[in-house]
Amino acid sequence: MLEIADVHTYYGESHVLHGVSLAVGPGEIVTILGRNGMGKTTLIRSVIGFTPARRGTIRFKGEDITRWPPFRAVEHGMGLVPQGRRVFPSLTVRENLEVAARGNGGRWTLAKVHELFPRLQERAGNRANKLSGGEQQMLAIGRALMTNPDLLLMDEPTEGLAPLLVREVGRVIAELKREGLSILLVEQNLPMALKVADRVHVLSRGQIVYSSTPSELSANHEIQSRYLGV
């Protein structure tokens, strides 16, 4: 589904990712862990094309998308739930969902998103900037689903949410996995990450320093304290 090979990414002259490689298979959830500032968001930005990798390649569903503009990657089946939600503040909730609709006859429609997040239907006519943080997160996820992705990139979807809502996001991720979606998930909430992931990678200073199954990481307290501050 997604193969990231030896990716180096820069902001101007600042070298942030130093040769990251990983893969996400069909129907798989791969989680990236790591402290703040280690390059997790930069990795997501490289995959979607916001900050294209300067060296290395990113292949997605058989195509080399390393230098594709972001909208093309989305058309090709990549969905993005960005860090900080980034819903369109001056659009209504319904418009936020509709602008993302690709009309490609996929599974996700307004009705289906409303079914997953009934709250979004209740607030359909409200401007997105009037929503609570939790509602904005639901909207950001719903918006990405409207593009009918095969692979979902999720960057800290539980950031700043109350425990109840963190569980809700966990439930949604599990449900999306059941539907067969592949997910590349960046998460700081360790219990949640361990619960949903098939495999985990730990990122430190722009490099992957540890890779394992969730249960192996769960047992490895040295890695947890060295790289995750647990």
Partner 1 sequence: MTAEFWIIQTFNGLSYGALLFLLASGLSLIFGVMRIVNLAHGSYFMLGGYVGLSVVWRTGSFAAAVLVGALAIALIGIAMERLFLRRLSGQVLGQVLMTIGFALIFQDAALLIWGGDPYTIPVPGPLRGVLRAGALSFPTYRAFIVVVAAVVATLLWLALDRTRVGARIRAAVDDAEMAQGVGINVPLLSLAVFALGAFLAAMGGVIGGAFLGVYPGADFEVLPYAFVVVIVGGLGSLPGAMVGSLLVGLLDNFGKALFPELSYFTLFAPMALILALRPTGLFGRA
Ligand X SMILES: Nc1ncnc2c1ncn2[C@@H]1O[C@H](COP(=O)(O)OP(=O)(O)O)[C@@H](O)[C@H]1O
Contact assessment for residue 165 and residue 137, using Cβ atoms and an 8 Å cutoff: yes
Select from 31-39, 72-80, 174-182, 214-222 the region that touches ligand X (CB under 6 A).
31-39
Task: Determine, following the binding rule CB under 6 A, whether residue 34 of this chain makes contact with ligand X.
Answer: yes
List of long-range contacts for 159-162, beta carbons under 8 Å, 24+ apart: 159/83, 159/84, 159/188, 160/133, 161/133, 161/134, 161/137, 162/134
Contact assessment for residue 17 and residue 52, using Cβ atoms and an 8 Å cutoff: no
Taking CB under 6 A as the criterion, the residue among 24, 33, 40, 139 binding ligand X is 40
Between 57 and 88, name the residue whose CB sits nearer to partner 1.
88
Site for ligand X in 166-225 (CB under 6 A): none
Taking CB under 5 A as the criterion, the residue among 41, 46, 147, 189 binding Mg ion is 41
Between 16 and 165, name the residue whose CB sits nearer to ligand X.
16
Q: How far apart are the first and last CA of the chain?
A: 32
Between 109 and 204, name the residue whose CB sits nearer to partner 1.
109
Task: Determine, following the binding rule CB under 6 A, whether residue 80 of this chain makes contact with ligand X.
Answer: no
Number of neighbouring beta carbons within 10 Å of residue 132: 13
Distance CA(205)–CA(160), nearest Å, equals: 23
Residue nearest to Mg ion (CB): 41
Site for Mg ion in 68-97 (CB under 5 A): 83
Pairing of strands 55-60, 2-11: antiparallel
Give the list of residues 6+ apart from residue 216 with CB closer than 8 angstroms, or none: none
3-state helix, strand, coil in the chain (%, to 5): 35, 25, 35
Taking CB under 6 A as the criterion, the residue among 31, 41, 46, 147 binding ligand X is 41
Contact assessment for residue 145 and residue 108, using Cβ atoms and an 8 Å cutoff: yes
Q: Which residue ranges make up the site for partner 1 (CB under 8 A)? A: 48-50, 69-71, 74-75, 80, 82, 86, 88-91, 95-96, 98-100, 102, 143-144, 146-147
Between 85 and 123, name the residue whose CB sits nearer to ligand X.
85
Between 51 and 182, name the residue whose CB sits nearer to partner 1.
51
> What are the residues binding ligand X (CB under 6 A)?
11, 14, 16, 34, 36-42
